[in-house]
A and B are shown apart, each in its own frame.
Chain A
Amino acid sequence: MRTTPLDLIGNTPLLRLTRLTTGLAPGVEVYGKAEWYNLGGSVKDRPALWMVRDGERRGALRPGMRIADATSGNTGIAYATLGAALGYGVTLALPANASPERIRTLRALGAELILTDASEGMDLAITTIRELVAGQPERFFYPDQYSNPANPQAHYETTAPEIWAQTDGRITHFVAALGTSGTFMGSSRRLRELNPQIQALAVQPDSPYHALEGVKHMASTRLVPDIYNPAAPDAVIEVRSEEAFAMARRLARREGLLVGISAAANVAAALRVARELEHGVVVTILCDSANRYLSERFWEDSDLIEGAGI
């Protein structure tokens, strides 16, 4: 069997949490989809691949063109990874205060970076890339993950059917944070087609000022993604940044799972849902690994000597 790098996108493991779930009713199971197993190390490989392939099919992305977008996060790493694997150049605009790990990862993958004034935030990065693309439309393909239906479609076609198969169709609750909303919208649509009883619950930060990287506070943003439908979630679960930090430490120290902050927020929300159940199979998304956030200060807090088994 021959495997190419792109075959490493999707078909990620579904991990059962066994140690953080000890207080739950015996009929309740909690699972996390280990998305750092993707080629580029995050869930964003799925939409990035779908948007690139869709661009090729529509003729919007042709040989010799560059993929251009504004992102310093996992989507940028996904574009840079895919661009390298498929032979497209990648140009990304990002605020100059993006973490050094991100900038080095993107450069290592050969992406061309335009660093914009940090104090102007993502908005300036977005306008910068839009102007660049508008000036040379023949040279650049701009996927625009917030508006591109291929983003949720990736989850409709891969994430949701994988979860369905991996739980033998037993999933009762799907829990996922909203960023572009692609993961939530695409997965929940497919899962409800497979079983209309499935509850799809959206995770949100408690405040527009939060530390959940990659998560968007939909109630306050002026840039609500076009692909998002506010009527889609059965309920919204708010997670404080501190709760996500503490869960990231617990997952590392009690499950041996080093996951990122948005993944930890998802698990915090999933466990809250699970605690209310007598029976159920709760599935959430572990968006990426902690190795992209190891310079964050919150790892240094040692609130969890408890149960360390020493």
Chain B
Amino acid sequence: MAITITIPTALRQYAGNNATVALEADTVGALLHGLIEQYPTLGKHIFDSGKLRSFVNVYVGDEDIRYLQGEATPLKDGETVSIIPAIAGGR
């Protein structure tokens, strides 16, 4: 199943300067692991000892995965997953 994942500006330099990447995955966890398999230098920015870093915000559509099933959240074909900036607005 093809899922589109959007990459925030801060992380694009580790993802081949792509704003979006399309991958096959059936859960959010599988998608993110697939992403860092493709772009290994991205790994340490979003994962720590195999777990998603606590401040990394991942959304499926408009829903924060923290309020879904976290990394186990199932994905349907054509859904969009977004990594969004850790700071809302800021400065």
Given A209-B11, A242-B48, residue A118 in contact with residue B88 (CB < 8 A): yes
Determine if B55 and A241 form an interchain contact, defined as CB atoms under 8 angstroms apart: yes
Q: List CB contacts (< 8 Å) of B1-25 with chain A.
A: 8-11, 13
With the chains together, A71 CA to B48 CA distance in Å?
Answer: 31
Kindly list chain A residues whose C-beta atoms are within 8 Å of the C-beta of B46. 209
Instruction: Name A99's closest neighbour in chain B (CB-CB).
Output: B88
Kindly list chain B residues whose C-beta atoms are within 8 Å of the C-beta of A220. 10, 13
B78 to nearest A CB, angstroms?
19
> Do A298 and B89 touch (CB < 8 A)?
no
Determine which of B82, B88, B91 lies in contact with A97 in the assembled complex, contact meaning CB atoms within 8 Å: B88
**A75, B91: Cβ atoms closer than 8 Å:** yes
Instruction: For residue B24, give the distance in angstroms from its CB to the closest CB of chain A.
Output: 24
Interface size (A, Cβ < 8 Å)? 36
A75–B90 CA distance with the chains assembled, in angstroms? 10
Contact with A along B49-65 (1 / 0, CB 8 A): 00001111000000000
Task: Pick from A134-142, A191-199, A211-219 the stretch touching chain B.
Answer: A211-219
The prevalent SS among residues of A at the interface is loop
**A241 proximity list for chain B (CB < 8 A):** 53, 55, 86
B89 touches A99 (CB 8 A): yes
Encode A71-103 as 1/0 by CB contact (under 8 A) with B.
111110000000000000000001101110010
- B86 to A211, Cβ gap below 8 A? yes
A102 to B89 Cα, complex, angstroms:
10
Complex CA–CA separation, A207 to B13 (angstroms): 11
Contact pick for B55, options A73, A102, A211, CB 8 Å: A211
Complex interface: chain A residues within 8 A of B87 (CB): 210-213
Answer whether residue B70 sits at the interface, using C-beta atoms and an 8 A cutoff.
no
Residue A2 CB within 8 A of the other chain? no
- Are the CB atoms of A94 and B89 closer together than 8 Å? yes
Q: What B residues does A125 contact at CB under 8 A? A: 89
Q: Which chain B residues border A242 with CB–CB below 8 Å?
A: 48, 53-55
28 pairs across A/B with beta carbons < 8 Å?
A72-B89, A73-B89, A73-B91, A74-B91, A75-B91, A95-B88, A95-B89, A97-B88, A102-B89, A118-B88, A121-B85, A125-B89, A207-B45, A208-B11, A209-B8, A209-B45, A210-B10, A210-B55, A210-B87, A211-B55, A211-B86, A211-B87, A213-B87, A220-B10, A241-B53, A242-B53, A242-B54, A301-B54
Interface residue ranges, A against B (CB under 8 Å): 71-75, 94-95, 97-99, 102, 118-119, 121-123, 125, 179-180, 207-214, 216-217, 220, 241-242, 245, 297-298, 301
